[in-house]
Amino acid sequence: MGDVTGISWCDHTWSPWYGCTKVSPGCKLCYAEARSRRFKTPAATGTWGPDGVRSINADWDKPLRWDRAAAKAGVRRRVFPSLCDWLEDRDDLVEPRARFLDLIQQTPNLDWLLLTKRPEYFLIRMYQVLEHLDRQEPKPPGYWNVATWLEAGWAPANVWYGVSVEDQERADQRIPALLETPAALRWVSYEPALGPVDFAQWLEPATVFGPGPDDPGFTVPAVDWIVVGGESDQGGEKARPFDVDWARQTVRAGRAAEVPIFVKQLGSNPRPWTWWDESTTPYVERVVRDKKGGVPAEWPPELRVQDFPKRKEAADAQPA
Ligand code: SF4
């Protein structure tokens, strides 16, 4: 919403609409819902559930201003829509989603970090947008973005397409769908982590061979980046526990495959929340005091890992 965000891996947050419907255990303490309740103004924040109001953002010029500023400064900025799921299934979201994809096309100096818990619906949502845009003359610039993404297998270079997973079951469901989708960069948000996930199988490209010796098969690409985090207390509700070993395992898997990992926070309920600092004699017991566990200086040193992926050139956006 604002120019400044507390999310350490992006520069700005901006959502095309506000509101969502919960789909899995990771949604229980949805930050966007807690924020909506706190402000108690559905017109400005949206509401939750399939019948709730989805309020459309009133300021679509803001990302255009960020884009111009980024171009002038010769830098790129990462923008994250934090108050919606951009692939949510609703008839009233087809038009705003089309407008959003148009906006992405008009802001080439911004990298849009699109995150969903519904990757299996990518194709159908994009076809809905294409049908909607097909009825317009002249075609808006975003039409070509959608048409080529969908039909030519090319993906916009300024979209980092990601899925959110909270445990192994959701990782098994959502990451294969992510890897089937053409994208310049594919990433996973493992936050709130609610159980261990073995990411190793998705961190190297895999070749799938065809049925016969002459069939070259195809390559399934790898995940390019993982963000890890424990849950934060929200709206007076206590966060579920985050075993810091889940972050350790993810960092180890990333190192082994040379995939960048970003440990964002240990959450409000890290287990354990104290640790022994072995760099001193005698050892000193350190405590995670920050209410979101978001201060790296309070973490065991091996967890202080906040790496970003290298931005790929447009040619890499072609499907494998
Ligand atoms: S999908 Fe995301 S935005 Fe939607 S309810 Fe779940 S956590 Fe909230």
Span 306-315, mean pLDDT? 74
Supply the residue whose CA is at minimum distance from atom 3 of ligand 1.
84
Q: Specify the pLDDT at position 7.
A: 87
pLDDT, greater one: 39 or 233? 233
| Residue 225 lies inside a defined structural domain of this protein | yes
The ligand 1 atom nearest the CA atom of 24: 6
Ligand 1 in reach of 87 Cβ (< 6 A): no
Neighbouring-strand partners of residue 111: 78
The ligand 1 atom nearest the CA atom of 117: 1
| Residue 191 lies inside a defined structural domain of this protein | yes
Supply the residue whose CA is at minimum distance from atom 6 of ligand 1.
27
| Residue 1 lies inside a defined structural domain of this protein | no
Of 200, 180, 178, the C-alpha closest to 188 is 178
Q: Specify the pLDDT at position 148.
A: 85
46 CA → ligand 1 middle, Å:
12
The 10 Å Cβ neighbour count of residue 7 is 18
22 CA → ligand 1 middle, Å:
6
- Which of 20, 21, 87, 190 for mutating ligand 1's site (highest number of atoms within 8 Å of CB)? 20
Ligand 1 in reach of 20 Cβ (< 6 A): yes
- Which of 7, 15, 23 for mutating ligand 1's site (highest number of atoms within 8 Å of CB)? 23
> Quick one: pLDDT band at residue 314, thresholds 50, 70, 90?
very low
Residue 43 has pLDDT above 80, yes or no: no
Residue 1 has pLDDT above 50, yes or no: no
Domains contained in the chain, number? 1
Cα Rg of the chain, angstroms:
20
Q: Specify the pLDDT at position 319.
A: 40
Supply the DSSP string of 197-238, one letter for each residue: ---GGGSS-EEE--SSTT---EEEPPP-EEEEEPPPPBTTBP
- The DSSP call for residue 230 is P
Q: Which domain holds residue 133?
A: 12-206+218-312
Ligand 1 in reach of 29 Cβ (< 6 A): no
| Residue 268 lies inside a defined structural domain of this protein | yes
Of 148, 147, 156, the C-alpha closest to 103 is 156
Ligand 1 in reach of 27 Cβ (< 6 A): yes
Supply the residue whose CA is at minimum distance from atom 7 of ligand 1.
27
pLDDT tens digit sequence for 81-109 = 999 999 999 999 999 999 999 999 999 99
| Residue 5 lies inside a defined structural domain of this protein | no
Residue 318 has pLDDT above 50, yes or no: no
Ligand 1 in reach of 188 Cβ (< 6 A): no
Q: Specify the pLDDT at position 25.
A: 98
54 CA → ligand 1 middle, Å:
13
Q: Specify the pLDDT at position 320.
A: 34
| Residue 283 lies inside a defined structural domain of this protein | yes
Give the integer Cα–Cα distance in Å for 19 and 55.
7
Neighbouring residues of 54: CB distance < 8 A, sequence distance ≥ 6: 17, 18, 19, 46, 84, 90, 92, 93, 96
| Residue 6 lies inside a defined structural domain of this protein | no
| Residue 212 lies inside a defined structural domain of this protein | no
Q: Which residue has the tokens 């891996």?
A: 9
pLDDT tens digit sequence for 173-228 = 999 999 999 999 999 999 999 999 999 999 999 888 777 777 777 889 999 999 99
Q: What are phi and psi of 219, to 5 degrees?
A: -105, 130
Of 25, 6, 29, the C-alpha closest to 239 is 29
Q: What percent of the chain has pLDDT over 70?
A: 95
Span 272-277, mean pLDDT? 95
Give the integer Cα–Cα distance in Å for 237 and 249.
28
Give the integer Cα–Cα distance in Å for 46 and 93.
13
Ligand 1 in reach of 174 Cβ (< 6 A): no
The end-to-end CA distance of the chain, in Å, is 35
Supply the residue whose CA is at minimum distance from atom 4 of ligand 1.
20
CA angle 67, 228, 230 (to 5 degrees): 115
Output the six-digit token pair for 84: 């919606």
Q: Which residue has the tokens 């995939």?
A: 259
Residue 317 has pLDDT above 80, yes or no: no
Residue 3 has pLDDT above 60, yes or no: no
